Structure 1
Amino acid sequence: MTSSLSDVQSSFPKPATGESTQPPTPALTAAFDPGRFHDGAADIVSRLTTYLGDRSVRGLDLQHPETLLKAARELMTLERQGIADFDADRVNQIVDLYTETGIPVHSPGYMGRQFSGVVPLASLMDLVGSVVNQPSSFYEAGQLPNVAERLMAEELNRFIGWDRDRFAMVTTSGGSLANMTALLAARNRAFPQIWTAGADSTPGRPAIAVSEEAHYSVTRAAGVLGIGERQIIRLPVDRAGRIRPDLAAPVLDEAHRRGLRPFCLVASAGTTSMGAFDPLEELAALARRYGLWLHVDGAHGASLLLSDRHRHRLRGIEQADSLTWDAHKMLFMPAPCTLLFYRDKAAARGAFRQRASYVFDDEPDVYSAYDSADKNFECTKRPMIMPLWTVWSVYGPALFAQKIDRLCAVTRQAHEMVAAEPDFAVAHEPESNILCFRYRPDGLDPATVHRLQLEIRNRIRDGGRFFISKVDIDGTAALRVVVMNHLINADHLAMLITEIRDIGQRVLRASATARHDQRKGSHS
């Protein structure tokens, strides 16, 4: 005979005096009510649909922090004792404030950063992930996310070209974390005793070789790992920002003479500054010659593997030992979603050498074989693979390839348009969807050129129609556009060029007037 719930409850010890045994209050239950979720979601989706449908050319509405702080504080309930009544209008105002103050990533005026407007289906699946809340480092906690991770690994490895029985892939929260994890694996392979005995146990000083254009997360990882900035070997680059293999070998030889023990060479597939792609084939040969792990930071540019037109930029990737690939950049997914690939799955497990009985099984089984917690930092990890796998499953890889091709073509068009303007100067030939250039009329000294680009960028941002970024190239600021929206066309580019010129001329006229007044004042 089965017992009722009340019978089972009555067999338990009574709670201590003062402890509540009352059922949850109506207000607590209401906060989790599915019907309320449905109504609130409908309101939010309606607002986001309007947001996505806005094709106007607009940039960032940059508000003073104190102004935004005041507006946000006014949206917070004053209730501190009980649970406040649900206020749909308050929620809608929060959503509106969020969208109004964010970078409009879906607008043709947005050309400033490397994160993208997402495929709308991906955002819906991200909502599902938030509702079902399945941390995905362990199979038993997130069954489908772990299977989806395995499937996406297989799909994307077809473009990388590693042995499908030997490689491994793990998702992690951002390219910075992926780069550091790969460096950990490389360090532990070169210095297997360092995990337990520490850096003092290593013969020589561990070092990494990086491009002068390497992302700051790589050099930051060197500090976190205890390598130290003095043990970072800087490899020279050409005018386009690509590592020069012919000059790298002498630099590595000199590092050995100084007592350094380099264990990893980090190459870039799409640098942050100019989108440059290092020559991977030559660097792979160099890494083999010196016994180095070759890690490719492809956070931005690895997605070009999906394009028949642009895959050649990553020629030699199959010879790398590891690869960082951000899906929230050129695969147009919600951030963060980073894919860290290893050519050898045994090396993937070498990044972390720990046991913990509460998560790691002493006797692995068919389920734990899908766990990833032994290969990444995160124990509780968002099911970030689900939006990517869903979009891939519904639309296939051609969606990504066509958008990538479109972005690169528009960037090439931007290069041609800027280069045709006599008062502009392009800084490089674009290799992907990043272009750097300067507004540079004749007769300006280098210091004026530098300050002028900074002022132009700031005024464009404050104007609110376009959002672009800036970067220093050879010590002088340049304007930088990152084409992430497939709706950007020649008209938008022409509007941007005109706005840059108008602002630049106003700045130069104001500066000339100020100098004239200053001279006039000194003579008087």
Structure 2
Amino acid sequence: MLSRLLPDRDMSEIPENFLPIESIGIEDIDNLFESKCFSRHASQAIDQLITYLGDRSTRGLALTDPAGIRAAVTRLTLGGQTSDTAEHDRKLAEIVDLYLQTGIQVYSPGYMGRQFSGPFPVTAVVDMVSAIATQPASFYEAGALPCVVERVMSEEFNRFLGFPSDRFTMFTTSGGSLANLTALLAARGRRYPQAWGEGMGETDCCPAIAVSSDVHYSITRAAGILGIGENRLVRLPLDHARRITPAGAREALDAAAARGLDVFCIVANAGSTSFGAIDPLDELADMAAERGIWLHVDGSHGGSLIVSDRLRPRLAGLNRADSLTLDAHKTMFVPAACTLLFYRDRDQATAAFRQEASYVFENTSDVYSEYNSADRNFECTKRPMIMSLWALWAMYGRTAIAEKLEALCDMTRKAHGILSVAPDFVPLHLPETNILCFRYLPNEQLSPKALGALQTEIRSRVRARGRFFISKVDIDGVSALRLVLMNHRITTDHIRQMLDEVRAVALTIREEFPQSEEI
């Protein structure tokens, strides 16, 4: 389908100065803001999206040569300005079509590879409203409704989270990476209150952060940003299911203290990116309390399990965390980015930033300013991301989210069962969420290096065939295949079809490289 969007000739033939421009008067500009113009464009895009949503075929991601996409984009860009309404409509149709065709098909049962999902369509409608009726949500006077909604939704979530109702707080951020960094800033601010103004050079301590060996890269990145340094990350050992071992964690913390490191924060996973593993939060909370260490839980993926009565017990001890990151755009199925950052004690949230800015920050509190979040949040102009989640919750309650989560976790367990009885596959763990890692096992014995290379090549070829999209992850230095089930329409038949696809490409690979230890 993409070929019809590509240019008829080499775009290098177009002179650099080819940019036909027509004069646009203020009246013409004003016409672009008219409701009739919006209605025409929106109706056209909605028709294309309806067709997109109605496609139930099994398809993954057929990567297009970047040169082809660039050529199509260049042709559309250099087409010049025109007052022809039909030309405007044609261009918009091509732009939407190009966007839909070149992306991951998130609503297809062939999509099993990443942690973002096709959102509930109603949330996209609310997102469109937010885009038109702009209401930056860090300050009440700019976004009154989103600011109030954040407060109400924090109370809704805390019914399941269980933080002290008179002490906790929650606000949104644009993504889990930003939320994790913000929480670590607050943890640093509690231990080293002078750090914001004077920097860390004034302390004799060697600050460090203790993390799961499967920690998300945003945490290691944050260590660099904070000036802690990756080399001062204390890696906590994992069990066979890639969860932090309490005994190993105690030994690692003791060893860090003996080296002169001051561990001021432990970062645990509630649904690790690689495995979907949930660390033993209760035991880690005990450890943190004994040693006066901040406990941050990166629940970007699995924190959403709190809304399900059946799945919530898997997060036992979460209510004892000092802070929690939860990505609603992952497992609450709303448009990206929408991340919730919780603090058990709202006073600790203000330790992240210590600033004065008279043009935005109020020196005196009133009924309006108490809803502001800018003093605790990186963002000044913040999208009202909570609105899509609230609309879904207000219309359908938590049920829609909880039941979809339960269906995904159940199907992942069924996939584990299918892999367990297949002689040519091995599941690498019992899934705690909707993520499952596994390997294809050929008939012949391969070295770990060759076995890992085979998984990587399988993944690339399955993706190239365009019917299924799966991912891969390195586990102890050896690559494995990885399923992330985000579509509730995936059935056991789709799982079996995907495994047959893996078998087919694996056979082709072994036929091409019969004696190779590289693949």
TM-score w.r.t. the length of structure 2 is 0.93
Q: Is the 8 A contact 1:138 1:371 kept in 2?
A: yes
Q: Shift in Å at residue 84 of structure 1? A: 7.8
CA distances 1:325-383 after superposition (whole Å, capped 9, x unpaired): 00000000100000000000000111111010000111121101000100110000000
Alignment match, 1:502: 504
> Which has the larger displacement, 445-454 or 318-327?
445-454
The alignment partner of 1:339 has SS state of strand
Alignment match, 1:14: none
Out of 474, 477, 485, the residue aligned to residue 476 of structure 2 is 474
Q: Is the 8 A contact 1:61 1:100 kept in 2?
A: no
Alignment match, 2:141: 140
Alignment match, 1:342: 343
Q: Is the 8 A contact 1:351 1:375 kept in 2?
A: yes
1:36 to 2:37 alignment:
yes
Tell me the distance in 2 between the aligned counterparts of 1:490 and 1:119.
23
1:370 to 2:339 alignment:
no
Query: How does 1:114-133 map onto structure 2 within 5 Å?
Result: 114-133=115-134
Q: Is the 8 A contact 1:281 1:317 kept in 2?
A: yes
1:292 to 2:293 alignment:
yes
1:262 to 2:263 alignment:
yes
Q: Is the 8 A contact 1:28 1:83 kept in 2?
A: no
**AA paired with 2:346?**
K
Q: Shift in Å at residue 391 of structure 1? A: 0.4
Tell me the distance in 2 between the aligned counterparts of 1:183 and 1:413.
37
Q: Shift in Å at residue 286 of structure 1? A: 0.5
Q: Shift in Å at residue 79 of structure 1? A: 3.1
The alignment partner of 1:369 has SS state of helix
Tell me the distance in 2 between the aligned counterparts of 1:513 and 1:348.
59
> Which has the larger displacement, 436-445 or 457-466?
436-445
Q: Shift in Å at residue 443 of structure 1? A: 2.7
Tell me the distance in 1 between the aligned counterparts of 2:515 and 2:269.
45
Q: Shift in Å at residue 93 of structure 1? A: 0.6
The alignment partner of 1:351 has SS state of coil
Tell me the distance in 2 between the aligned counterparts of 1:254 and 1:413.
41
CA distances 1:89-123 after superposition (whole Å, capped 9, x unpaired): 11011000000001010000000000011000000
- Asked which structure has the greater CA Rg, the reply is 1
The alignment partner of 1:512 has SS state of coil
1:384 to 2:385 alignment:
yes
Alignment match, 1:456: 458
Tell me the distance in 2 between the aligned counterparts of 1:70 and 1:25.
32
1:163 to 2:164 alignment:
yes
Q: Is the 8 A contact 1:327 1:339 kept in 2?
A: yes
Tell me the distance in 2 between the aligned counterparts of 1:358 and 1:418.
59
Tell me the distance in 1 between the aligned counterparts of 2:474 and 2:449.
13
CA distances 1:1-25 after superposition (whole Å, capped 9, x unpaired): xxxxxxxxxxxxxxxxxxxxxx953
> Structure 1 residues 31 and 164 mapped into 2: Cα distance closer, same or farther (>3 Å)?
same
Alignment match, 2:7: none
CA distances 1:380-413 after superposition (whole Å, capped 9, x unpaired): 0000000000000000011111001100011011
**AA paired with 2:337?**
P
Query: How does 1:207-226 map onto structure 2 within 5 Å?
Result: 207-226=208-227
The alignment partner of 1:491 has SS state of helix
Query: How does 1:51-450 map onto structure 2 within 5 Å?
Result: 51-79=52-80, 87-445=88-446, 446-450=448-452
Tell me the distance in 2 between the aligned counterparts of 1:83 and 1:368.
46
Over the aligned positions, Cα root-mean-square deviation in angstroms equals: 1.4
| Runs of 4+ displaced beyond 4 Å | 82-86
**AA paired with 1:144?**
L
